[in-house]
Structure 1
Amino acid sequence: MATRPIGIRPDQQPEHLDQCRRCVLWEAATQAVPGAGPRHAPLMLVGEQPGDQEDLQGKPFVGPAGALLDRALDEAGVDRGQVYVTNAVKHFKWEPRGKRRLHKTPAQREVEACHYWIERELAEHDPKVVVALGATALKSVLQKSTVKLQASMGGAIEHEGRLVIATFHPSYALRSPDAATRESAYRAIVEAFKHAHQLIQKYPK
């Protein structure tokens, strides 16, 4: 019979994020990174996981991807102060590369374990529209491991009484190998934010 590492409880229901031991990622992270934003924000943005700077500061989207996110929100006419920003996974998963800590994509079991927190955030903030930034976020929000990011882009998906819009993660627009791809990804992010803003205005609660 397979054994589970001591202290790892995917069925655990902690009250506070810093108590979470539902997967192993807390062991190598500096701290858990909660979402941030107003309680009843109509728009929720869900990324993949904290990065290096987010792990150190304990806040979501404060590194280079966060700067691009701010620029895209501003261009789309969306006030970040009215947006709730979070991640599908709350601890930084990384691997060493010399003195650097490089991002490592969370496993599906880690995404599933952390969905406990996404459910709590959705219930508490009750957004009208959720923008999933990248494939990991989309799989978490829709609770569907087979969903494809690019096939889901360009429209709004109804899911459990909310509208979900899929787009690229800001880090993709930063790190793609050529300028044309980076610009195309950035434009897609801006258009997704514009679409989300339009839907919020069109379908008030």
Structure 2
Amino acid sequence: MASRSAGPAGSGSGAPEDAYTAEPFLPGGRAGLPGLREAAAGCRGCPLHRDATRTVFGAGNAHARVLLLGEQPGDQEDRQGRPFVGPAGKVLTRALDEAGIDPDDTYVTNAVKHFKFEVVPERGKRRIHKAPNLREMTACKPWLDAELRVVDPEIIVVLGATAGKALLGSSFRVTEQRGMLLPFEGRGESVLATIHPSAVLRADDREAAYEGLVSDLRIAARAIG
């Protein structure tokens, strides 16, 4: 990736790639979700904005007790501008309902707000998901921090390894920590790790993977009473 400034477009400071950050694009003061969403639409804090269609900010109940954190938008999310509207989102909505969590009472977002992909000509020029790297997750973290401040959930459910690392650090391992209620930075929230719903769609045994996701979400449901 070519280097560009971490600041607003056109600043031309030539900052190194590891200096990318969304911080200069956040609105001043203690903006609510509408203000954050509007500001995020113009974010140029890392190179991912260049190829993505739009910023995909979080959505849902602004006072949700449960915040669901995924990795990044997918193809359908990038096209529609809302998180979890593709096949994985349908799996998540069904699993939440089955676990006893009203999907309408949650807030859903991603650690990275732009779709990272590669185009594969031999697959009909389909846009194929690529996992964001640590620099990209770090650059986007100010948006997540702002969302957490505003929503102030009781529990954060991290969906998959990338979301867990974005929130809890590079030592996080979803295979070791899934289904466990973990403390979060000395704050009131707890963190629960589980698989990303897209893992259900990729699994050889989809039924077993889905039941595992529901089982983890039931822990979150019990935690909030």
Which TM-score applies when normalising by structure 2?
Answer: 0.83
Structure 1 stretches of 4+ with a deviation exceeding 4 A read none
1:64 is matched with 87
- Partner of residue 6 from structure 1, selected from 4, 24, 27: 4
Which runs of no fewer than 5 residues in structure 2 stay unpaired? Answer: 8-19, 28-38
The equivalent residue for 1:199 is: 223
Asked if structure 2 preserves the Cα contact closer than 8 Å seen for 1:8 and 1:24, the reply is no
The TM-score, its normalising length taken from structure 1, stands at: 0.91
Worse-superposed segment, 17-26 or 48-57:
17-26
TM superposition shift of 1:4 = 6.9
- State the number of aligned residues: 195
Q: How does 1:46-65 map to 2 (within 5 A)?
A: 46-65=69-88
Q: Alpha-carbon deviations, 1:64-122, whole Å to 9, x = none?
A: 00110111011112111100000010000000012200000001110111111110000
Shift of 1:147: 1.3
Residue 96 (structure 2) pairs with residue 73 (structure 1): yes
- Structure-2 residue corresponding to 1:45: 68
- 8 A Cα contact 2:179 2:219, kept in partner: no
What stretches of structure 1 of length at least 5 have no aligned partner?
A: none
Distance 2:129 2:103 in 1: 25
Does residue 146 of structure 2 align to residue 113 of structure 1? Answer: no
The 1:153–1:37 alpha-carbon spacing in structure 2 relative to 1, beyond 3 Å, is: same
AA partner of residue 164 (structure 2): L
Query: What is the RMSD computed on CA atoms of the aligned residues?
Result: 1.5
1:189 aligns with 2:224: no
Q: Does the CA-based 8 Å contact 2:76-2:85 persist in structure 1? A: yes
Question: 2:68·2:158 contact (CA, 8 Å) conserved in 1?
Answer: yes
> 1:165: which partner in 2?
192
The question of 1:174 aligning with 2:201 is answered yes
Match of 1:85 among 90, 101, 108: 108
Tell me, what secondary structure is at the counterpart of 2:78? Answer: helix
